[in-house]
Amino acid sequence: MLHIAVCDDEETAVRAHKKIVEECLRKCGSAGKIAVYTDSRNLLCDITEDQFFFDLILLDIEMPGSSGMELAGRIRPFLPEVKIIFITSHIEYAIDAFELSIFRYVPKSDVAGRLPAAIADAVSLIELQEGKSYTIQTSSRFEKIPFREIYYIEREGKNASITAKSGVSRVRKSLQQVYEELGAEEFIYIDRGCIVNLLHIMQVREGMAVLKNGVSLPISRSHLTEVKEQINRYWGAHI
């Protein structure tokens, strides 16, 4: 079951957005539990203090007290994988959304037209990520690493070293072989010897890929332009 939060300081907007979410879940054939908030402080408290979990959050950016942008920044350390859809009147916020790994930006002027597609895409991606994993299997070992938990993969001699939330795992395969087995657009080469899960890239700065776990990895000069283009292409479909 998906856990979804809708937060807007206007009661009418909350009801309207909740109705759209319910209809999208019905069309997607997905089960979901929807929590609604008209005060961003209550949402933040539920997440940071009561440890509520959400897969998807719909946020209005222009709210009194704490803006949606500020709220997203404070939520992210507690829910690093959560998908956030911003709903706002100001298109310029979409530029800042990249560093917060915002899933999509929906203008208030076209909520009815664009929000259903954004929610459907988010649900599909969440379910896809939940179900996909990389399997390491030998005569004495079996290990499954969810795609969403993989930060990066490096060449280590004749092995490929996979760094994930659970730790470091090694498989006796070439980096290219692992890349082909992953077969997912989220994994990109930033160097001949390193593949990164772009869902974990917070920003590209001074030739480095800065990841959510605090690690900074060098991007080779020959890959820098392509890395930026791949990131822009990927997130361009979600903002």
87 token code pair: 């709903």
Per-residue pLDDT tens over the stretch 112-171 = 999 999 999 998 888 766 767 888 877 677 788 888 899 999 999 999 999 999 899 999
Residues 6-16: tens digit of each pLDDT: 999 999 999 99
Output the six-digit token pair for 176.
């290219």
CATH superfamily of 2-130: Response regulator (3.40.50.2300)
The Cβ of residue 182 has, within 10 Å, a number of other Cβ atoms equal to: 18
Mean pLDDT of the chain: 87
List 59's β-bridge partners, or say none: 7, 86
* Confidence band of 5 (pLDDT split at 50, 70, 90): very high
Give the C-alpha separation, 155 to 141, whole Å: 20
Both ends of the chain: CA-CA distance in Å?
A: 25
**184 Rama sector, left if φ>0, alpha if ψ -120 to 50, beta otherwise:** beta
- Phi/psi of residue 152, each to 5°? -160, 165
Tens of pLDDT, residue by residue over 59-113, are: 988 777 667 788 888 998 888 889 999 888 766 555 454 455 678 888 888 899 9
**Left, alpha or beta for 89 (phi > 0: left; psi -120 to 50: alpha)?**
alpha
Question: What does the pLDDT read at residue 178?
Answer: 95
Q: What is the mean pLDDT of residues 212-226?
A: 93
d(CA 9, CA 110): 18
Q: In the structure, what pLDDT confidence band is assigned to residue 234 with cuts at 50, 70 and 90?
A: confident
Distance from C-alpha of 122 to C-alpha of 101, rounded to nearest angstrom: 13
Could you give the CA distance from residue 21 to residue 7 in angstroms, rounded to a whole number? 12
Give tens-digit pLDDT for 33-69: 999 999 999 999 999 998 899 999 999 887 776 677 8
Greater model confidence, 227 or 235 = 227
Q: State in words which class domain 133-236 has.
A: mainly beta
In the chain, what are the domain boundaries?
Answer: 2-130, 133-236
Q: What is the dihedral of CA 9, 10, 16, 19, to 10 degrees?
A: 40
